[in-house]
Structure 1
Amino acid sequence: MTRDGDCYYVISSLYGYPIRRSCDGVDGPWEVVGKIFPNGSPQWFKDYLNTTNPMYEWAPAIDKVDGKWRVYYAGTTFGSQRSTIGLATADDIEGPWTDQGEVKSSVPGKPYNAIDPDPVWAVDEKGDRTKAYLAWGSWWSGLYIQEIGADGKPLPEAPEVHIASRAKGGLEAASVIHHDGYYYLFASYDGCCAGPNSTYNIRYGRSASVTGPYLDESGVDMVNGGGTLLLAGYGNIRGTGHQDVFEDDGTTRLVHHYYDRTRPAGNFDAYLQVRDLTWSEDGWPELLGPSTTIGGVGVPFINKSSELCLDAWEWNQTPGTVMRTATCNELNVQQWYVSDPGQSADDFVTITNRNSQLCVDGGEFDTARNSPAMQQACESLDSHAYAQEFQLEATRDGWFKVRNRETKLCLTAATANVAGSNTTWEACNAGDAQLWRTTAVPEERLPFTVTAATRCVAGKVVVAVTSRNDSDMAARLEVSTPYGSKIVSVIEPGKSVSSTIATRLVAIATGTVSVTATSSDAESVTQASFAARTCG
């Protein structure tokens, strides 16, 4: 991922390396605006891999150097060491792109596998770029880095420096950034590309030198198998990895893909997530909650009785946490993903919290009333885990009940209407505590009809206003003109009232009167125009 002006861009694997753009932040919406190779990858690339299958176009990485965009792209056949990295350049990130040919390749017998490129920069004390490097590697003996020249390709005399390895298990996808005097190496461990069975996790180390050694928080060199865990699978989230870390106008962002056990997908159909990183006092990265999944943000669940929002509470990612209601905000703990009802044969949905990635759960087949409403690790939609499936039963005006498939109980807000109160499962009823909506509650308006006219009284102009209450609620009125105001203490439903405001002038111009109607539950403002008038 990178940023160009006000827009974010993601370059992804497969089928010509699609380019996606969002000009509304990392939450999207995202659209495909082109490909690095719209007519297919270069012939040399296909010849080297001995395949024309676009499923083997992998792991692009992007950089901007002296005003020109660079994309390093890779290819291999799955599990093979016959792999290669190429380079394409463009003046505009949306293309057209020009292939610059081979950068690094591997064959059986090499110590490394030449995929997963990552452009890296050494910086001076001011943070300005000095020397360019390329990191790469996947499985075999791990990760390497090498200085590159102005053309973006390795300098012939520059050594290939080994920066990370494991005695056993997967290791790939280097991403190196500089922060506050250190270079940080992030890498993916274990296995990707197996759908929800993927075991990918992200680990890191740091070094005072761009070429290492990179030590984890325990002081173990990543060449010797070190690496402090940053993120692994949790809840319904699996295969968190192939990360890219970049600086975005003072914010450090971690981009990674993952699989969702509740959303069936193929082995290469991963989702993208963006998270922010912060830094501890001693300079180690700390992970914040997920910012987004490509496809959009979640929705709030607003309760009718309390006017509070369903909340995963205090950024908790622990299964079994009781959900509460809290003052509505735009934080991830109050955003929920509702699955497409079409994914279930019976039009039931799952509800997943954006921060915790845990699912709303009706209980372990617990039909007891007043049982706490919790989040639990998500189960697959085809697992018949009916405790995590719900019907959103529409009532009226956008409100609905959340009825659990197994227990037949409904999600209920506390009657106390106090922020921080627990939610429970109760027998479904007609009460407002069981009514929810995922869009903002529309402001109730008091329908009024207002007319205004001018006339002469004793040689001076007066403004006469007639207000009719078309609502079913009694209301207090305030009639305002440029020449003064009047208050009507109460006007009953269906009734009209006339108000006269003296201007004390012999002539006035065209103007506007505003009538503010207020009841115990709603407020509205209705305006009407009056004509110019000259008296005498």
Structure 2
Amino acid sequence: MTLRRTLTAVTTAAVLALLPHAAQAAESYPDPRPITGQQIIHDPTVIRLKSGDYAAYSTGGIIGARLSKDGKQWDDAGNAFARPPSWWYEYNDTGDPWAPDISYRAGRYWLYYAVSSWGTNHSAIGVATSPSGLPGTWTDHGKVFTSEKTDHWNAIDPALIKADGKLWMSFGSYWTGIRMVQLDPVTGKAVPDTTVHHLATRPDLPYAVEGPYIVKHGRHYYLFASYDACCSGVNSTYKIKVGRSTDIKGPYVDSTGKPMLEGGGDLVLEGHGRFIGTGGQSVFQDREEDWLAYHYYDAEDEGTPKLGLNRLSWSRDGWPTVK
């Protein structure tokens, strides 16, 4: 290496060290963890069950189910429900649910999901519970929160978090972006006359941000969201961004201080190589490690949506990166 090239490399490294997290994160991305078995999935939510096994639920079927003993070999486990609850047909003709979220509290598993039709905010979020978290054991409890065409939000893509002794549900897709409401911890449904908090949007139509997921790390809450377009195979432009706040209600900002309500957000993961349109994300904990679950469209398999899993690492200044 010549002296000039050496000095250039040193200077570049020094400049990168001074750049904000967003610029450094975009340099390169690791591939997802290698997995085997049933890899096809969309909008995954993953949990490690009390039994020690893993369960993943997703868009597709009557909430598609995948099970794993080790988080690497995944098997098709049918659907969460044997048949769609009748009220789902109020929101589409096929009783087709989207984007589930699984969690555990109060001695049972809770599965939230959305029912809607493409391109409308006539939508509803529902909830079911199970003693084991396994497919076929879920009891549906009906609607949690709804939206209509007169609303400025879209009640899909739910995700739960407990904060400050309260239970919260973030949600949202397009329209004006990401919202959040408080839930009753007993019923799991929205409290009466709940305030609809606004967490993130974009300044440009059609406000293409959706699929929120909030996690707590250190003293901050981190809002992950999917930006741009999904569901177009190798033409998808989905990517995952993040912002943070010391208050669950926001404001959420990126590493440069730009609010997510003004289009801010640090890039966490975007398409690279064969892994196109990374998004539909959720975060789960396994043996005290945080993992990012998402789908990507496999450019080497005709754009088939598949499960992506990457461990999350946290920098000294508290920003997440994929490993």
TM-score range, shorter chain: 0.7 to 0.9
1:44 is the counterpart of 2:84: no
**By how many angstroms is 1:132 displaced?**
0.9
Match of 1:179 among 206, 217, 233: 217
C-alpha contact 1:26 1:274 (8 A) present in aligned 2 = no
In structure 1, the partner of 2:8 is: none
> Which structure's CA Rg is the greater one?
1
- The TM-score normalised by the length of structure 2 is 0.82
1:160 is the counterpart of 2:205: no
1:61 is the counterpart of 2:101: yes
Letter matched to residue 77 of structure 2:
V
Q: CA RMSD in A?
A: 1.3
1:273 is the counterpart of 2:318: no
C-alpha contact 2:239 2:279 (8 A) present in aligned 1 = yes
| 1:286-365 alignment, distance < 5 Å | 286-288=321-323
1:89 is the counterpart of 2:129: yes
**By how many angstroms is 1:146 displaced?**
1.1
In structure 2, the partner of 1:434 is: none
In structure 1, the partner of 2:28 is: none
**By how many angstroms is 1:34 displaced?**
4.2
In structure 2, the partner of 1:408 is: none
Query: 1: CA distance between counterparts of 2:128 and 2:140?
Result: 4
Match of 1:32 among 53, 60, 76: 76
**By how many angstroms is 1:247 displaced?**
2.1
Letter matched to residue 156 of structure 1:
P
Query: 2: CA distance between counterparts of 1:90 and 1:195?
Result: 33
Unaligned runs of 5+ in 1: 124-129, 289-536
Query: 2: CA distance between counterparts of 1:22 and 1:183?
Result: 29
C-alpha contact 1:230 1:286 (8 A) present in aligned 2 = yes
1:115 is the counterpart of 2:156: yes
1:252 is the counterpart of 2:252: no
**By how many angstroms is 1:226 displaced?**
0.8
1:18 is the counterpart of 2:64: yes
Percent of pairs with identical residues: 38
Partner-residue secondary structure (3-state), 1:44? helix
C-alpha contact 1:183 1:209 (8 A) present in aligned 2 = yes
Query: 2: CA distance between counterparts of 1:164 and 1:110?
Result: 16
Query: 2: CA distance between counterparts of 1:217 and 1:242?
Result: 22
In structure 1, the partner of 2:187 is: 151
C-alpha contact 2:92 2:117 (8 A) present in aligned 1 = no
Query: 1: CA distance between counterparts of 2:125 and 2:278?
Result: 23
Cα pair distance change 1:50/1:247, threshold 3 Å: closer
* Greater relative contact order, per chain length (Cα 8 Å cut-off, separation 6+): 2
Partner-residue secondary structure (3-state), 1:151? coil
**By how many angstroms is 1:249 displaced?**
2.2
Letter matched to residue 71 of structure 2:
V
**By how many angstroms is 1:245 displaced?**
1.1
**By how many angstroms is 1:205 displaced?**
0.4
**By how many angstroms is 1:115 displaced?**
0.4
**By how many angstroms is 1:33 displaced?**
2.9
**By how many angstroms is 1:262 displaced?**
1.3
Give the paired residue count: 273
Query: 1: CA distance between counterparts of 2:72 and 2:261?
Result: 36
Partner-residue secondary structure (3-state), 1:58? strand
**By how many angstroms is 1:50 displaced?**
4.1
**By how many angstroms is 1:35 displaced?**
2.1
Query: 1: CA distance between counterparts of 2:194 and 2:183?
Result: 8
Query: 2: CA distance between counterparts of 1:116 and 1:193?
Result: 15
Query: 2: CA distance between counterparts of 1:106 and 1:14?
Result: 22
C-alpha contact 2:268 2:322 (8 A) present in aligned 1 = yes
Partner-residue secondary structure (3-state), 1:114? coil
Partner-residue secondary structure (3-state), 2:232? coil
